Amino acid sequence: MRKIAVVFHSANGTTRQLAEAVAAGVEEVAGAEVIQTEITAADISAGRFYNDSFLTLLDNADAIIFGSPTYMGSVSAQFKAFADASSERWEAQLWRNKLAAGFTIGSNLNGDQLATLQYMQILASQHGMLWIGLDLPGNSGAKGLNRLGAQSGVIAQAERADLCDSDLLTARYLGLRVARLSITFTS
């Protein structure tokens, strides 16, 4: 059984909705198991992420899909605290050769969400992980997946709590893609 972790921070529930869609995509793949882990306020003290059991779950995953809202052109402070705490894993190369992917959401059509995905890609590269992007052209297929045309990962946009069905379907597709590649890559 391949373990796919979905680790995310959500401030108002929209990133959580994307995380749930990603997890649903993972669950569609036989031989894949989803581990959903949310970064919460209880994990952070004085600006530092403290949750070793959370990080141990990720150590034992075969792939990690990162998620964060875009704030001021990057990940949320809570996600950044988690990323900083992962440096201890970096020293031991515990996440090396794991698959990685990412998703984000912003309230504007272009609120620099790509910079958030690039941050996640750099984090994954520092850990020696292998980044999985989307293999979908913008507005592909009858369902209009990847309506915003991002190739690095899922970019969603919502002005309120309502997400576009296309963004949720694209998030589900990302989970499906990572799970399938995890099984193929390690077979």
* 128-177 per-position pLDDT tens digit: 999 999 998 777 665 689 988 889 999 999 877 788 999 999 999 999 99
| Amino acid occupying residue 163 | L
Q: Which residues of 111-131 are buried (b: 16+ CB within 10 A; e: fewer)?
A: bebbebbebbbebbeebebeb
Amino acid at residue number 151 = Q
Name the DSSP letter for residue 42. G
Q: Distance (Å, rounded) from C-alpha 51 to C-alpha 85? A: 9
Mean pLDDT for the chain?
Answer: 92
Position 98 scores a pLDDT of 96
| Strand residue runs (E) in the chain | 2-8, 32-38, 44-45, 48-49, 63-69, 99-106, 130-131, 154-157
For 14-39, give one letter per residue: b (16+ CB within 10 A) or e. bbbbbbbbbbebbbebeebebbbbbb
Enter the tokens of residue 17. Answer: 């909705």
Beta bridge partners, 34, equal 4
Predicted confidence at residue 75, as pLDDT, reads 96
**Both structure tokens of 113:** 């969400």
Determine the pLDDT at residue 23.
Answer: 98
Give the domains, in start order, of the chain with CATH numbers.
2-186 (3.40.50.360)
| pTM flag (> 0.85) | yes
**CB-CB neighbours of 160 under 10 Å:** 8
